[in-house]
Amino acid sequence: MASPKKKLHGLVAATITPMTENGEINFSVIGQYVDYLVREQGVKNIFVNGTTGEGLSLSVSERRQVAEEWVTQGRNKLDQVVIHVGALSLKESQELAQHAAEIGADGIAVIAPFFLKPWNKDVLINFLKEVAASAPALPFYYYHIPALTGVKIRAEELLDGIQDKIPTFQGLKFSDTDLLDFGQCVDQNHQRQFSLLFGVDEQLLSGLVMGATGAVGSTYNYLGKKTNEMLEAFERKDFSSALNYQCQICFLIYFSCLGFGVSQTKAIMTLVSGIPMGPPRLPLQKATREFTDNAEAKLKSLDFLSFTGVKDGNLEACS
């Protein structure tokens, strides 16, 4: 994998944790999963044990094992493996951060603790600082997802002076629709020292226009190729094509009923990749047979199950 000093940019797949039908982790398919991301989707950066990976539904031991497997299987294939080590317990988060450093991960990320919540910026930074200090050689990213954590501290406020407190801070995963807050983060990042990774897949083009340097998301597991085409169009300033790609992606997500839940993501990834992702862990429920059958029929109608990507002729361009 790449040197930890390499800036994280481009697409980052928020990986699924494959499971067996009885809810145990299916480590045996992770190597195949890595090859699929690289060869079929053109995605070489991953975010492990996050929301999509059900990290907070796994035991500490399981999270360690999952992280190790991704690092091992990704060696010489993936560019960067970032491990989410956030937890409600500071000690658990520190243990996971230290472990990530020991196994050769390329970075760590931390979500805000969301049961006993930090009530202001300083309290949150104190928590993050203690975790980052457990892996002082690894780039550190804050995972901002207020809709799930209930922690409403603005990302822009957090960024102000954060490297004075956390020298290894390298950026954030911004999983929120507040483009004003994101825009202010970009404004603070005028020297582009941070990786500002947008985390709302269906709004990525908006994030790019605002100044996102990359993106982390669940749909890049199976829409990475199409999203990379959008990024390439944006980079060459072909904004009409970039908009067309974003609309195609939104078409797949909404009109094909693909959904964004972990259960639905696992079902779609199984259909598209042919790699069994299994059910989610309780309290999440397995995607219904009706959902899976409908999704399979619609994906087939778009020739999407042939692993060649969506055929442009099957989707109308945005006007």
Binding residues are 52, 216
Sign of CA dihedral 198, 56, 105, 44: negative
Q: Which of helix, strand or coil describes residue 128?
A: helix
Q: Report the distance separating Cα 141 and Cα 114, nearest Å.
A: 17
Identified catalytic residue from 33, 36, 141, 143:
143
Which of 202, 206, 171 has the alpha carbon at shortest distance from 185? 171
Across the strands, what pairs with 48?
83
* Cα separations in angstroms, 66 against 25, 27, 98: 8, 7, 15
Selected catalytic residue, list 173, 220, 226, 245: 173
Secondary structure tally for the chain: helices H, strands E: 13, 8
Run of H or E including 141? strand 140-144
Residues belonging to the binding site for pyruvate are: 52, 216
Active site residue 121: no
Question: Beta strands 214-217 and 195-198: pairing type?
Answer: parallel
Residue 173 annotated among the catalytic residues of the structure? yes
**Catalytic residue numbers, as ranges:** 143, 173
